[in-house]
Each structure stands twice: as C-alpha cells, then as structure tokens.
Structure 1
Amino acid sequence: MNNRLRSSGRAGRYVRQPLDYSAFIPNALPPLDPPLSIDIEMQDLLSDADRALGRLDGSIQTLPNADLFVLMYIRKEAVLSSQIEGTQSSLTDVLEAEANLLDARRPGDVVEVINYIDALRYGIDRLASLPVSTRLIREIHEHLMSGVRGQERNPGEVRTSQNWIGQGGSTLNNAIFVPPPAHEVGPALSALENFVHSNERLPVLVRIGLVHAQFETIHPFLDGNGRVGRLLITLLLCERQALSQPVLYISHYLKANRQRYYELLQGVRDEGAWEAWLKFFIEGIRTVSDEATETARKIVSLREAHRKLITDTFARAAASALTLLEDLFKHPVVSVKYVAELLGMTQAGANVLVRRMVDAGLLFEITGNARNRAFRYGPYVDLF
C-alpha cells in the first residue's frame, strides 16, 4: 500500500494537492494525540545518554587547549554527514585541501565538506548573539550551499516550490515522501521555532530528537536539508549546554544505520511512531558520546607520549619540535614551507626538522613527490 495513505494522523496528515499528488502537513510539536510516552526503556536510554554526554563534556574540558582538538571532531562530523548525502570525500581529502595541496584525484565534492565545517563553526559562534531559529537556520544553509552543487537552489532561502524525496528519476507521484507544499513551510518553521524555545517539560535529548525529525519532515530547502538537520543536533546540544564544544559526530551512527534512520523518520510520518525514532536517536547519542570520549582519552595519551618522545630524543631541536607538534593537532597536514613560516626558520632548517619528525614516526610523507612534498601527522589523524 502506498505509504502516503497510511498516516495515523499523530504526526500530521497527507493532503491531496491540485496536481494530484499527496504532500505531508506536519502537526505542531510535541505529539499530543496521544501524548508522547516516555516509558521505562526510554528513561533508561536517556539516563545512559545523559551520563555519556557528561563524560564526553568532562573529557573535552580536561584536554590541554581543547580548541586545538575540537576542529578535528568537527571535520569528522562534516565528512560523515556529507557522506550520508553521497559525497566521496574522506577526512584525508579535507585535510589536504585545507593545506592547499592540489591533487587531481581528490573528489570535487571536498568543497561541500569544507562548507559544512564552516557552517557549523559559524553556527556555534552565532549562538552567542542569535538563538537557534529560522533566521539562524537560513544563515547556516547559505554557508553550507555557497559555491557547491545546489548553489543555484537559493542558498539561505526557504523554498517556494515543491520538493520530494525518492530514488533518482522519481516524480511527485511515486516519491518515497513529499514534504509540505511551499505555502505551508513558513508556518511549519515558525511552529518548530516556537517549540524549540517553549516551556514544554521534556528531556533535552527528547526535544532535540523531535526537532531533528520535524525539520527533516518540513524539508524547507531545495537542497541540503539532511546536512542542516544534522547540524541542528549539534547546535541544540551546545545551546542547551549539554555540550560545551561541538565534539559529537552523530553522523557516524546515522551513517552506520542509514537505512534504519530513514525508515524511522518515515515511520514517524506514516505511523506516528515518535517513540521508536526517539529511542534510536537517544541510543545514537550515547554510542557516539562514548566513542568521542574514548577519542579524547587517546588524544591525551598520544600527546603525552609524543611530547616525551620529542623531549627525550630531539636535543636542541626539542623546543621547535614541540611547537610544531602542538600546531599539528590543529593542522595535521603540513608542508616544509608551512613549517618554516610557523617556526620562523629557514627552509633548510625546517626540512631537517621535518625529516627528524618523519624518522621518529610522527610525520608521514603523503605526496610521493620529490618537491612540494606534504606530511601528515598520521598517529593523530588515525584516531579519527
């Protein structure tokens, strides 16, 4: 049976449109008929996820100069979220692009991942002056879509035409899901914004899970909705102070369970299955929080081990090597020219230092070139 005819009405309703297709009109949050059921299973999941988030936040705050490491978490989330949408870029592609290394083999969509990084960092900074809102969502979308595939689809502008979700070549009449028509998008976003800042007595993760699913159902842009919706998860965690830094790569869980992710979102629309979606979402938060905490622990151990290695074996070059090491946590791919400029030394001196770092197993040459070589801080990148 066509799933557009099976909606329970709890999450919204399918409405036949003038061109003879059915579009889904979501109800305002929270679910009311019946009200959301937070049963014992969900309470246990929430308790575990809250503890995991607390451990993650604590572990990040114990990192020396946490800002150095946060960018790698953001990069990982950007890569994974973009891969869900079909991009082929890897973390290594992104690091090399940021280091201005040209490689014809690199996927052209690496710019989309870099835009995601910029959009997330912009959003986090913007929270200081603007709460999560339709305006902020539009600004983030503009950063995300500028200069990449879909840039012709009005970056930063809510759609004024119908879109749909389906396989390549699908139409409005055989799409998997048709979001609300354009004239319903503005009111739906306003209702969502009201819910975000309402006084509803709901656990933070329940609220965020509801918001993410509702945003994906509204699908307010012609492109980039999935990525913006996942960005919203991180922004809301930070705004609600569940995390002090954007170090949760939720897309790792969503990508690993992609089919289930899509099925549960559709289950909300067709069957009003909010609870099933929320349990999946909360379990995902717990899972990736634990993974990110373990990554933070490994970062601390790696940094201590490598600082000791340099101090014990680099003699007079130790001071310069330690300065370079700290910078590698922020810029894990470097050239000899970059090292020379960073440390204020000659090209020849930088070349000697880089060679010593290679011999120590800290840096690895990645271009295979005789000239214009680049080096990756492999042990650190491998943690992600």
Structure 2
Amino acid sequence: MEKDRAGIDVAQQQGYRAFIPKPLPPKSPLNLDAETIELLSKADTAIGRLSGISETLPNPDLFVAMYVRKEAVLSSQIEGTEASLEDILEYESESRPRILANDVAEVVNYVRAMNYGLKRINQLPLSLRLIREIHAELMKGVRGRDKTPDDFRKTQNWIGPKGCALNTARFIPPPPHEMMQAMGEFEKYMHSELTYPLLIECALMHFQFETIHPFLDGNGRMGRLLITFFLCYKEILKKPLLYLSHYFKQ
C-alpha cells in the first residue's frame, strides 16, 4: 500500500493496483506561495472581467451560444473527435444532413448537455443526481451509449492506450464500491464551506472527479463540464464564457 496526500494505491485481489482517492479537502494544507497567490489574483480579475462582458452585450445569449459551441468542439477533440465548429453550425442550419456523423453527434450532445446543466442548476443544487442527468444528455445516441449512461459504473474501468488490459493500464480508478463512497464524499464537498479560494476548490474538484472516474465512458467531457457548472453555480461566471478545453488541449 502506497500512501499519498491525494489517495492510496491499493492492491486488489485480482492482482492489479487501484487508486483510492482521499476525501476533499486535503488533510495537509496546500502551500499557496506568493507566486501562486499572485497568479490566482490575476485569474480572479480576468474571470471577473470576462463575466462582466456578458452584461454589456446587447444580445449576450447569441454571443454565449458560440462560446458554448467552441468549448464543445475543443472538449470533444480532446477525446479524439474530428468535428469542427463549421460542422456543428452546418448541422444546426436549415441544410443539416439527414444522417448525423458520430463525431458531430458527440459535439452536439455536448452543447445539449451544457445547456441542460445550466438550466438545471437554477432548479436544484450540484449533486450526484444532476451529474447523472447531465451524463445521460452527453451520451444519448452516441458512442458509449451502451455503457450505462446516466448511471455510475458497476464494473472496474481503467485508463491507458487503446486495447490495453488492467495489468498494462496507465491508471486504474477505484473499484465500484470504493468509487461510490468517493462520489458520496465528493457530493458532500460540493455543498460544504470552501476551504480555499474558489478557483483552487474548482481545480481540486476537477482532479477528484477525474481520479474517481465514475462512469464507464464520458468522464473527461463530464469533468470539464463540471468546471463550468461549478463556476456558474457559485456565480463566479454569469454566463458560460470560459472555455478551458483550449488550455487542456495544448
């Protein structure tokens, strides 16, 4: 058993080792040095300016709609899709093709999942229920639709090169039972008093979600969606104008 502040690497009966993340917040306080605090201050200022833009535009929803689609394209490209922004706009135009290509469908679903989640966080808090609902929208009718969309996994998953097995995986998330415990703690943390500046909390939660990997497919896209939902839920962003996938894709 190897210990780390983020979690524990535990040997399983089947012979592989799975990572069991520790609940948030970290028991050992994060060391926010002067450089980090300065960068955090600059990021807060930049996000504040970005959020303020939406209040000065004559038609903010039209402007935001393009940002959402750009984020959808970039986030989906991280997962290997090849659809472009032009493909999405063509589909949404009156001359849309009858048969929707898989790559385009995945990006369209991302847009739908984003819009669905932004509407729902005005009706109920961020929760495991809402995460499952959004995941169902994300995976509806696309690759991975047969991997229990809208429900947390009941089997072990792993991360690695295409075709790899458990014993050659790059990373193995917690087994199903430990995964459900970790997601329960994750939900509690989303509703708890903040321990660190909000952007730090956002980064911690993104790391935690990706480490838990609660779904059989779509975890990366879902994790990136949660960043936007969390910032909007906490009213740091008035509109979803921040597309972090540009950074993640680099």
TM tier, shorter chain?
A: over 0.9
Q: Tell me the secondary structure at the aligned position of residue 81 of structure 1.
A: helix
Aligned mates of 2:216, 2:78 — CA distance in 1 = 17
2:72–2:107 contact (8 Å) kept in structure 1: yes
Q: Tell me the secondary structure at the aligned position of residue 167 of structure 2.
A: coil
Aligned mates of 1:41, 1:218 — CA distance in 2 = 30
Deviations 1:222-257 (A, max 9, x none): 00000000000000010111100011111011101x
Aligned mates of 1:100, 1:227 — CA distance in 2 = 28
Deviations 1:65-96 (A, max 9, x none): 21111110000000000000000000000000
Residue correspondence of structure 1 range 211-290 to structure 2 within 5 A: 211-256=205-250
Deviations 1:130-155 (A, max 9, x none): 11111110000000001000000011
Aligned mates of 1:108, 1:151 — CA distance in 2 = 12
In the alignment, is residue 64 of structure 1 matched against residue 29 of structure 2? no
Partner of residue 21 from structure 1, selected from 16, 23, 29: 16
- RMSD of the alignment, in Å? 1.6
Residue correspondence of structure 1 range 72-87 to structure 2 within 5 A: 72-87=66-81
Residue correspondence of structure 1 range 145-156 to structure 2 within 5 A: 145-156=139-150
Aligned mates of 2:53, 2:74 — CA distance in 1 = 22
In the alignment, is residue 131 of structure 1 matched against residue 125 of structure 2? yes
Aligned mates of 2:64, 2:204 — CA distance in 1 = 26
Residue correspondence of structure 1 range 47-62 to structure 2 within 5 A: 47-62=41-56
- TM-score scaled to structure 2, two decimals? 0.96
Aligned mates of 1:180, 1:108 — CA distance in 2 = 30
Q: Tell me the secondary structure at the aligned position of residue 253 of structure 1.
A: helix
Partner of residue 7 from structure 2, selected from 12, 24, 45: 12
Aligned mates of 2:247, 2:191 — CA distance in 1 = 27
Deviations 1:300-322 (A, max 9, x none): xxxxxxxxxxxxxxxxxxxxxxx
Aligned mates of 1:239, 1:25 — CA distance in 2 = 28
2:102–2:143 contact (8 Å) kept in structure 1: no
User: Rg bigger for which structure?
Assistant: 1
**Which structure shows the higher helix fraction?**
1
Q: Tell me the secondary structure at the aligned position of residue 109 of structure 1.
A: helix
AA aligned to 2:222 is V
Residue correspondence of structure 1 range 233-382 to structure 2 within 5 A: 233-256=227-250
Aligned mates of 1:181, 1:108 — CA distance in 2 = 30
AA aligned to 1:165 is I
Equivalence for 2:134: 140
Q: May I ask how many residue pairs the two structures share in their alignment?
A: 250
Partner of residue 198 from structure 2, selected from 197, 204, 209: 204
Q: Tell me the secondary structure at the aligned position of residue 171 of structure 2.
A: coil
Aligned mates of 1:35, 1:123 — CA distance in 2 = 32
In the alignment, is residue 114 of structure 1 matched against residue 121 of structure 2? no
Q: Tell me the secondary structure at the aligned position of residue 25 of structure 1.
A: strand
Aligned mates of 1:106, 1:182 — CA distance in 2 = 34
Aligned mates of 2:124, 2:222 — CA distance in 1 = 17
1:88–1:107 contact (8 Å) kept in structure 2: no
Structure 1: which 5+ runs fail to align? 257-384
Deviation for aligned residue 1:108: 3.0
Aligned mates of 1:189, 1:199 — CA distance in 2 = 18
